[in-house]
Amino acid sequence: MRAALRAFGELSATAGVILLLFCAYLLWGTGSYTAGQQVLLRKQLLRELQEKESGRVRPGGAVAMLRIPRLGRHYRYAVVEGVGWEQLRRGPGHYPGTALPGKNGNFALSGHRTTYGAPFERIDELRRGDPIVVDAREGHYTYRVTGRRVVKPTAVEFIAPVPGRPGREPADARITLSTCHPKYSAARRLVVFGELDRRGDHRG
């Protein structure tokens, strides 16, 4: 019996170490992958901005640069086209079919909250009126936060051209950020809404 208990204890300790290592990988290892991808995406986007390239962005390609001042002066993420698993490993993703930056409709984005760099970890800290800055090929856009909601993971109306009102024609440009809620769970979705405040030239 003692031998069995000792063996069980050793197995439990080993399993605990493996679990800790796996958690460490999820929190830091995946972040390292995303950081490397972000470097590549930023270089791609900067080159295209300088050369004034335009055209359709392929899945996984850089759509725009996202900056949120409230989340820190160094908060800066290249947004990729697509919201599949492979795309969201590289950074926040743009829902295909939703509006592009600055265009009438809804520039809808999704991002991880705990792994792969956790770009949307702190979007719950955003307050009404906070700026969300987007640098895209066509120009520089500043949106202002208008509100937030917690919705079911199956809710898709928040990415409609007019969020929450599917079928309605948009009269202005909006932005939507969505992520898992609460942290470490996919039970719900946290959604932050914003409206375009001003347009301008590129700032790099």
Considering the domain 2-200 in this protein, what is its CATH number? 2.40.260.10
112 catalytic? Reply is yes
> Choosing from 112, 148, 174, 181, which is the catalytic residue?
112
The conformation of residue 98, written as its DSSP 8-state character, comes to S
180 catalytic? Reply is yes
What CA–CA distance (Å, rounded) separates 55 from 61? 12
23 catalytic? Reply is no
What CA–CA distance (Å, rounded) separates 13 from 130? 47
User: Is pTM beyond 0.85 here?
Assistant: no
* Local confidence pLDDT in tens for the 204 residues of the chain: 555 545 444 444 444 444 444 444 445 567 889 999 999 999 999 888 777 666 778 899 999 999 999 999 999 999 999 999 999 999 999 999 999 999 999 999 999 999 999 999 999 999 999 999 999 988 999 999 999 999 999 999 999 999 999 989 999 999 999 999 999 898 999 999 999 999 987 544
Q: What are the percentages of helix, strand and coil residues in the chain, rounded to 5? A: 30, 30, 40
> Choosing from 94, 137, 140, 180, which is the catalytic residue?
180
For the chain, the structural domain boundaries read: 2-200
What CA–CA distance (Å, rounded) separates 104 from 33? 34
> Choosing from 89, 90, 140, 189, which is the catalytic residue?
189
